[in-house]
Structure 1
Amino acid sequence: MPFSVRLSSGTPARVFRDCAEVAEQFGFDQIWTGNDLLRRSGVVPVTVALAATKRIKVGSSVLNPVSMHPAEIAMIAAGLQDFSGGRYLLGLGAGSEVFLRWAGLQPPSPVRRTREGLRAVRTLLAGGVPTGWHDRASLKDGPAPTPIYVGAMGPKMLALAGREADGVLALCLPPTRIGWFTEQVGETPPGFDLACCLWVSIDEDRDAARARLAAKIAAYAGSLAPDTLAAAGLDVEKFQHVQSLMTAGDAEAATAAVDDEMLRLGIAGNVRDVVDRCLELTAPGVRHLSFGQPLGGSLVEAVALLGRHVLPQL
């Protein structure tokens, strides 16, 4: 089973490089970082990490075809594939509606823009011309085959990934619903990489790990779809209360209001806790576990802790 680690958008390039080196040392197969609009570029740390490593694959999770034109995405992917000897992974996604609006952009629906961007980028990387483009609109340096993943959480985006991509970065919240996520992706061709992406907080101090995950959940409480929470058996009103505290500017109270039930959205605890939860998830159909932030107080130490003590037991 492949294992990967994901670092948030805005992670400094030097920190991401160090994490990539540690992840490679301890046997991770992939490492990813985001590219949210108005944060530090996610392309820079990916480039630095590829230069510092030899085996591990390094990915963007995700680039969006609205603020970045599909032609530019294909150009970046082609350049990184050439530079790394084929170790770059391209993640595509809809992008945050909030961030896009901040930039004055009014894109089509998330599924539509992701589908159109995916098809255009794939065609360009294969050496072709996307539908509706000028007949000279092809990559001038030739084909650059690159695995394309779709970042997804909802059923329509998951199904799109299963039909048209090489893999999916499926944000599995809570982890107990992994089976539902794999069902939504549907039948896939051999080699399709279904990465079950988790929020993980690991620390030798169990309480510290839980506190970090609580802070993460508080920060995202208002972004989680009520239908998704309800389907997972979680109390939507609790998340609304936490979001009201965040909106009022009281992050400390919001974090304190995250209870044990809400912590089920992710995995938090010491090594034994994390191993036990992950073993529960390695059911039929789960092919790839991806560990995402908050991870730990020190990202490098958290990656080492996962690699040294968790991966060997899975």
Structure 2
Amino acid sequence: MRPATFSARIGGHGVSEVVDKALVVEEAGFDQVWTGNDLFGEPGIVTLTAIALRTKRIRFGSGVIDPVSLHPVQIAMLASGLQEVSDGRFLLGLGAGSDVFFRWAGLQPARPVVRTRQAVLAIRELLAGRSPAGLEGVAEGWTEQAVLRFSRPTPIYLGAMGPRMLELTGRLADGALPLCLPPRHVHGVVQQLSAGAAKAGRSIDDLDVAACVWASVSDDRDEARYLMAKHIALYSGSLSTDALAANGLDPQEFEHTQQLMLQGREAEAIASVSEAMLSLGIVGGVDDVVAQCAALLEAGIRHISFGPPMGPDAMIAVKLIGSTVLPELRRQLG
């Protein structure tokens, strides 16, 4: 059985701020830290390099790199380099990327599942010191000379939400980064990952499934709940209505909140977030957070990934989770 794993997903304004946060995450006792690399966003590759050089123990990952703005060869080269400077602690998180951002840059990639599949297969071969040429499922055009001079095997994780991407993750990846909103959505995620793994003659136990949740944690429960309500209000218009309905939530409630936000009535929008809507994330004090993680543990999840909004002060929340929540969850997981 896989060991219990706990990670934090962090962001910030600038490389130095994110690296400082990564150091706090390491000191708090987390096993992994993940940071983004969105097109037009923070310079994630630079940040990952700085994290590799300044941290000592923690494993760190890209959450996530897309294979459109960076060619699979470049991704494999970067992964190999990060493995070298970190003494093998890097985790390569890949994702399809945002078609909206690609359009801004004038890019017209293949369909999300296709481009992700092609990239995973090619990058794995490259990291193993082989050419992807002739491998079924990769893009055309590779030649036998397409071999890295310096390659280091690296675990590949996929950021996945939809059924087809989850099935692909189960078939091909070493790890999964599914966004579990609400946390109980993990049951459906596990089923889809398991189906994909079975098609490849594998078990879901072969994957490190990081159940990625929104978490707002504070000694002041009301403060934690307010911050989660604000976060939900901000994202109320970008959530899948099908996923909301499938998990017993009312899409019309989220639509109402979104309309208030669009009208500039933020305070009313935050106040409109109901108790049911708050269940989209994990929120409250230490005891509340431990209890709300139960659904993940009952589903057989061994890796919980805590992400924004974290708490009124994200780094105080990280320290609080590290000193109180993680020891109790590790005790429950044995």
User: Above 0.5 in TM-score?
Assistant: yes
Match of 1:257 in 2: 272
- Partner AA of 1:156 in structure 2: R
- Whether the 8 Å CA contact 1:18–1:300 is kept in 2: the answer is no
Q: Report deviation, 1:53.
A: 1.5
- Partner AA of 2:169 in structure 1: A
Distance 1:42 1:60 in 2: 7
Distance 1:254 1:24 in 2: 36
Q: Report deviation, 1:171.
A: 0.7
- Partner AA of 1:166 in structure 2: D
**Which of 130, 138, 150 does residue 147 from structure 2 map onto?**
138
Q: TM-score, normalised by structure 2?
A: 0.89
- Partner AA of 2:192 in structure 1: Q
- Whether the 8 Å CA contact 1:15–1:300 is kept in 2: the answer is no
Q: Report deviation, 1:107.
A: 2.1
Match of 1:108 in 2: 110
Q: Report deviation, 1:299.
A: 2.2
- Partner AA of 2:8 in structure 1: V
Distance 2:231 2:301 in 1: 25
Map residues 3-42 of structure 1 onto 2, 5 A cutoff. 3-8=6-11, 10-42=12-44
- Partner AA of 1:98 in structure 2: V
Relative to structure 2, which stretch is displaced further, 257-266 or 131-140?
131-140
**Which of 214, 221, 235 does residue 229 from structure 2 map onto?**
214
**Which of 177, 181, 196 does residue 185 from structure 2 map onto?**
177
SS for the counterpart of 2:159 is strand
- Partner AA of 2:6 in structure 1: F
Match of 2:59 in 1: 57
Distance 1:17 1:109 in 2: 33
Distance 1:128 1:169 in 2: 26
CA change 1:55–1:105 in 2 (3 A) is same
Identity of aligned residues (%): 52
Distance 1:284 1:230 in 2: 20
- Whether the 8 Å CA contact 2:8–2:33 is kept in 1: the answer is yes
- Whether the 8 Å CA contact 2:7–2:32 is kept in 1: the answer is yes
CA change 1:246–1:113 in 2 (3 A) is farther
- Whether the 8 Å CA contact 1:19–1:303 is kept in 2: the answer is no
Match of 1:156 in 2: 164
- Partner AA of 1:140 in structure 2: R
Q: Report deviation, 1:238.
A: 1.4
Distance 1:231 1:118 in 2: 30
CA change 1:214–1:284 in 2 (3 A) is closer
Q: Report deviation, 1:248.
A: 3.2
- Partner AA of 1:167 in structure 2: G
- Whether the 8 Å CA contact 2:15–2:42 is kept in 1: the answer is no
SS for the counterpart of 1:89 is strand
CA change 1:46–1:11 in 2 (3 A) is farther
Match of 2:208 in 1: 193
Q: Report deviation, 1:11.
A: 4.6
Q: Report deviation, 1:287.
A: 1.7
Q: TM-score, normalised by structure 1?
A: 0.94
Task: Give ranges in structure 1 of 5+ residues lacking alignment.
Answer: none
Q: Report deviation, 1:109.
A: 1.8
- Whether the 8 Å CA contact 1:11–1:33 is kept in 2: the answer is no
Map residues 224-239 of structure 1 onto 2, 5 A cutoff. 224-239=239-254
